[in-house]
């Protein structure tokens, strides 16, 4: 069935839709997004982590309200795409599910170390405090709706909101060619590339199974006057 992009509209995620949003997110990313796939968490465990991060009333990300969905009016407002953004310098911290098995704790610790290494060129900007840099954490579109410009519309919605809110820059960690091209099309440039399998944490390489997975740190200046 050919989908008509004219029936797609962008809206913020409402509190009563969190569970539907999380299920869509997990179903889309599990076994599809390169880094998520190579890390190897089960769908159930990934769902648990996402529910902790987004569904709790005290969720750090939920409280910021910087995520949107694309809906198809012609399909009873079905969610067909999403974007999740956050301000890394905002108050609060992401929560992780408890209890964690030793292997899971070690894995999540390594993921945090990987994130820190990827973001290293942004350290100075992130250190300027809340409201400085918008983090584009994830973008996804249902397979049967790809190629219709929905991801571009979602990203532009977030960037316009960031500019209106006074953010100086936006950044994203891209793990696929499609993601890189999307961000480049929207004005992002590459700051650095990290090979996941070669990352060393505490003398070990925790992601040796993630061969051919690179993370590209992409940045866009939203207000050049504020970055001088």
pLDDT at 1: 47
Q: Which residue, among 82, 113, 105, has the nearest Cα to 17 in the 3D structure?
A: 82
Residues 41-72: pLDDT tens digits?
A: 889 988 888 887 776 665 555 667 788 999 99
* pLDDT tens digits, 134-182: 999 999 999 999 999 999 999 999 999 999 999 999 999 999 999 999 9
Find all residues with CB under 8 Å of 148, minimum gap 6, and list them: 3, 5, 8
What pLDDT, in 10s, does the model give residues 119-130? 999 999 989 899
Residue pair 80/70 in contact by the 8 Å Cβ criterion: yes
| Model pLDDT, residue 142 | 96
Fold of 5-226: Aminopeptidase (3.40.630)
Output the six-digit token pair for 124.
């100075």
Q: DSSP string of 126-172?
A: HTT-TTSEEEEEEEEE-GGGTTSSHHHHHHHHHHHHHHHTT--EEEE
What's the Cα-to-Cα distance from 176 to each of 162, 217, 224, rounded to whole Å?
Answer: 24, 12, 28
Q: Provide long-range contacts, Cβ within 8 A and 24+ apart, for 51-54.
A: 51/19, 51/22, 52/95, 52/96, 52/97, 53/94, 53/95, 53/96, 54/18, 54/21, 54/22
Q: Pull the structure tokens for residue 44.
A: 């159930």
Q: Tell me the whole-structure pTM to 2 decimals.
A: 0.89
How many angstroms separate the CA atoms of 67 and 158, rounded? 8
Tokens of 47: 């769902």
């Amino acid at each position: 069935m050919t989908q008509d992009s004219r029936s797609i509209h962008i809206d913020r995620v409402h509190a009563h839709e969190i569970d539907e949003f999380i299920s869509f997110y997990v179903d889309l990313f599990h076994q599809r997004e390169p880094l998520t796939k190579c890390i190897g968490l089960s769908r159930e465990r990934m769902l648990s982590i996402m529910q902790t991060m987004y569904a709790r009333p005290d969720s750090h990300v939920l409280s910021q309200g910087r995520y949107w969905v694309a809906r198809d009016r012609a399909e009873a407002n079905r969610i067909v795409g999403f974007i999740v953004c956050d301000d890394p310098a905002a108050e609060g911290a992401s929560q992780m599910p408890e209890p964690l098995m030793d292997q899971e704790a070690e894995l999540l610790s390594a993921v945090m170390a990987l994130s820190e290494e990827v973001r290293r060129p942004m350290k100075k900007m992130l250190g300027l405090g809340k409201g400085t840099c918008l983090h584009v954490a994830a973008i996804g579109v249902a397979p049967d709706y790809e190629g219709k410009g929905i991801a571009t519309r979602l990203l532009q919605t977030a960037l316009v909101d960031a500019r209106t809110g006074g953010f100086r820059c936006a950044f994203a960690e891209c793990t696929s060619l499609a993601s890189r091209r999307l961000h480049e099309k929207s004005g992002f440039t590459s700051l650095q590339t990290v090979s996941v399998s070669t990352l060393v944490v505490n003398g070990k390489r925790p992601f040796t199974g993630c061969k051919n997975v690179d993370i590209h740190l992409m940045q866009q200046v939203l207000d050049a006057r504020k970055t001088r």
